[in-house]
């Protein structure tokens, strides 16, 4: 590794450095004119490139072309313009080192004290669905090179990668007689390296996606800060929320209309709720209204119906105790009647693609309730990646977008499900996919009747779900729990018949499970003996 030059001065966060020359090269010109004018009025010489230079000059602001600096014109459609010693020498030259100063003087390299660059919009090109050639053409080369050069030399150079940074620099220049502080330059350097890392992560992940490479030799991750959180899962943990640049509809893309700032747990649970309710399609189109209620990332109630108020009430009836302080997700337009029902129960977050003005007005009376409008629903079948940190590494996998077509359902018992049972089996299967393993879900008449989540044994999950259904029946004053006459789903195969028979004891009449156990024959025989209809899917949905 390079040895530190003994003549270099230690970095001093309090040291002020004058700004005499600035180089500007930006793709986002929305605030460029005001900022360029402010810098010019501070007596700073402006040098710029291509379209940025033309925009500044057209505004009547004095600016030099980078080609005048380098002695070379822009070429190759602008690909080559700043990759030159006159630019990088001006950014990298150490003003405190005599050897650097001598070299700059010998070759006529003038210092560049302020660099303002925002990169070609590669992420936006990918998000817009642009073709391969357009995406590749939007890979910036000179920009990241300049950013890294200036950021490395932050003892002398301030680097701005977005317009907010420029405002901060202008404020300091005005306060410090045309000088920037070491503290600001160091903060900007930190942000600069993070920005180029995020940019390179987006590019490398794009190529991995294009090539279908689930396991590239190097995996890069990046994110842009969306929100600093009060704390993480617990008050002693710090946390922040980063957007990864993808456009999958959900909590990261939604607009929050009201309520307190989202917490770490709110974000996690809201994501789980919205991903689940999206399984039932968009009620604004042809799908039936669906409502999911989530607590601690597990559903405690899910239902479909002909309208949202009925779906909400049926979902709530599954486990009204757990629903207290939960997250509610809808797959269509939140209406006034449903909003009035929701506010009767303490609810942390409500998320939907849209809401009527009347529903929004109802929520305004509950100032702490967060209302998120996502605009669209995520597609459960879209391909994307999920990741999780473990000690010393990152686990990466495809999102569970597995889907079983009707033709792939395999009836394995003597009795086939009735049409009504089959509808409930399909719903139970969709819900089980979003329940922590081991998972058992009972469904009756389009509503979850009992949910057993996160158990070490499948028979315990079946029993807990049945017990919750009994509690719900007692609370509601029903004659019997809704598990009687229900369909039941298991996220993975029954290794023994006992878990399935526990569900039958609770009143289930039909079962859906992946199959694939070495004891499948025993389980099927037990189902036949109990008079159950059973369907195999051939697909497992573990969720840890």
CB 38 within 8 A of CB 116: no
The DSSP output letter for 356 is: -
Cβ atoms within 10 Å, residue 238 = 11
Element at 90 (helix H, strand E): helix 85-92
- How many residues can be counted in the chain? 544
- Tell me how far apart the terminal alpha carbons of the chain are, to the nearest angstrom: 43
Q: Where are the alpha helices (DSSP H) in 400-457?
A: 419-432
Q: Return all residues near 91 (Cβ < 8 A) that are at least 6 apart.
A: 23, 112, 115, 146, 149, 150, 153, 157
CB 450 within 8 A of CB 466: yes
Task: Return d(Cα 462, Cα 458) in angstroms, integer.
Answer: 6
Listed residue (299, 320, 371) closest to 291, CA to CA: 299
Q: Are strands 45-48 and 64-65 parallel, antiparallel or unpaired?
A: parallel
Task: Return d(Cα 416, Cα 533) in angstroms, integer.
Answer: 5
CB 349 within 8 A of CB 269: yes
Task: Judge whether 296 counts as a catalytic residue.
Answer: yes
Listed residue (217, 256, 291, 295) closest to 448, CA to CA: 291
Q: Where are the alpha helices (DSSP H) in 176-307?
A: 182-211, 264-277
Q: Which is the catalytic residue, given 84, 260, 296, 366?
A: 296
Task: Return d(Cα 270, Cα 265) in angstroms, integer.
Answer: 8
CB 451 within 8 A of CB 441: yes
Element at 525 (helix H, strand E): helix 520-530
Identify the sign of the CA torsion 360, 364, 366, 368: positive
> At CA 219, angle to CA 216 and CA 225, rounded to 5?
150
The angle that helices 520-530 and 497-505 make with each other, rounded to 10 degrees, is 20
Task: Return d(Cα 403, Cα 281) in angstroms, integer.
Answer: 13
Q: Which is the catalytic residue, given 29, 152, 226, 340?
A: 152
Task: Judge whether 154 counts as a catalytic residue.
Answer: no
Q: Are strands 370-373 and 255-258 parallel, antiparallel or unpaired?
A: antiparallel
- Chain-centroid distance of CA 86 in Å reads 41
Structure tokens at 299: 């559903």
Q: Return all residues near 388 (Cβ < 8 A) that are at least 6 apart.
A: 394, 395
Q: Where are the alpha helices (DSSP H) in 374-457?
A: 419-432
Q: Return all residues near 158 (Cβ < 8 A) that are at least 6 apart.
A: 17, 19, 113, 114, 115, 150, 169, 180, 184, 185, 188
Q: Are strands 21-26 and 370-373 parallel, antiparallel or unpaired?
A: unpaired
List 290's β-bridge partners, or say none.
304
Q: Which residues are catalytic?
A: 152, 296
């Amino acid at each position: 590794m390079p040895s530190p030059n003994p003549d270099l001065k230690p970095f001093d966060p309090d040291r002020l450095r004058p700004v005499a020359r600035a180089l500007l090269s930006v793709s986002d010109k929305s605030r460029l004119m005001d900022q360029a004018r402010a810098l010019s009025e501070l007596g700073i010489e402006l040098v710029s490139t291509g379209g940025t230079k033309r925009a500044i000059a057209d505004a009547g602001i004095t600016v030099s072309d980078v080609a005048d600096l380098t002695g070379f014109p822009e070429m190759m459609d602008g690909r080559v313009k700043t990759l030159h010693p006159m630019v990088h020498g001006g950014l990298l030259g150490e003003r405190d080192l005599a050897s650097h100063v001598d070299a700059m003087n010998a070759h006529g390299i003038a210092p560049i004290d302020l660099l303002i660059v925002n990169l070609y919009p590669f992420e936006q090109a990918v998000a817009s669905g642009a073709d391969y050639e357009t995406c590749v053409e939007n890979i910036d080369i000179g920009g990241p090179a300049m950013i890294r050069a200036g950021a490395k030399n932050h003892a002398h150079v301030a680097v701005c990668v977005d317009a907010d940074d420029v405002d901060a620099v202008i404020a300091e220049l005005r306060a410090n007689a045309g000088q920037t502080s070491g503290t600001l330059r160091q903060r900007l350097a930190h942000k600069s390296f993070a920005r180029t890392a995020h940019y390179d992560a987006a590019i490398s992940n794009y190529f991995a996606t294009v090539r279908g490479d689930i396991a590239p030799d190097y995996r890069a991750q990046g994110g842009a800060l969306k929100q600093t959180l009060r704390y993480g899962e617990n008050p002693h943990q710090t946390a922040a929320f980063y957007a990864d640049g993808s456009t999958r509809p959900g909590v990261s893309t939604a607009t929050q209309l009201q309520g307190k700032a989202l917490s770490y747990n709110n974000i996690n649970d809201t994501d789980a709720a919205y991903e689940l309710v999206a399984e039932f399609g968009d009620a604004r189109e042809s799908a039936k209204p669906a409502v999911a209620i989530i607590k601690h990332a597990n559903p405690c109630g899910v239902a479909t119906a002909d309208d949202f108020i009925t779906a909400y009430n049926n979902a709530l009836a599954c486990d009204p105790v757990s629903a207290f302080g939960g997250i509610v997700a809808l797959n269509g337009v939140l209406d006034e009647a449903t909003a009035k029902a929701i506010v009767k129960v303490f609810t942390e977050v409500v998320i939907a693609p849209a809401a009527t003005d009347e529903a929004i007005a109802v929520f305004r009376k509950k100032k702490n309730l967060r209302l998120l409008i996502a605009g669209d629903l995520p597609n459960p079948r879209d391909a994307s990646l999920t990741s999780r940190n473990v000690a010393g590494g990152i686990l990466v996998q495809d999102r569970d977008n597995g889907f079983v077509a009707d033709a792939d359902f395999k009836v394995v018992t003597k009795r086939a499900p009735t049409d009504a049972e089959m509808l409930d089996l399909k719903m139970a299967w969709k819900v089980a996919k979003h329940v922590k393993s081991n998972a058992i879900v009972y469904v009756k008449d389009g509503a979850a009747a009992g949910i057993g989540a996160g158990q070490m044994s499948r028979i315990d999950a079946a029993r807990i779900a049945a017990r919750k259904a009994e509690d719900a029946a007692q609370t509601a004053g029903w004659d019997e729990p809704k598990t009687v006459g229900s369909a039941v789903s298991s996220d993975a195969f029954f290794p023994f018949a006992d878990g399935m028979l526990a569900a039958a004891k609770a009143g289930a009449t039909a079962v859906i499970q992946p199959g694939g156990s070495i004891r499948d024959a025993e389980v099927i025989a037990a189902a036949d003996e109990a008079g159950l209809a059973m369907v195999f899917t051939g697909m497992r949905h573990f969720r840890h």
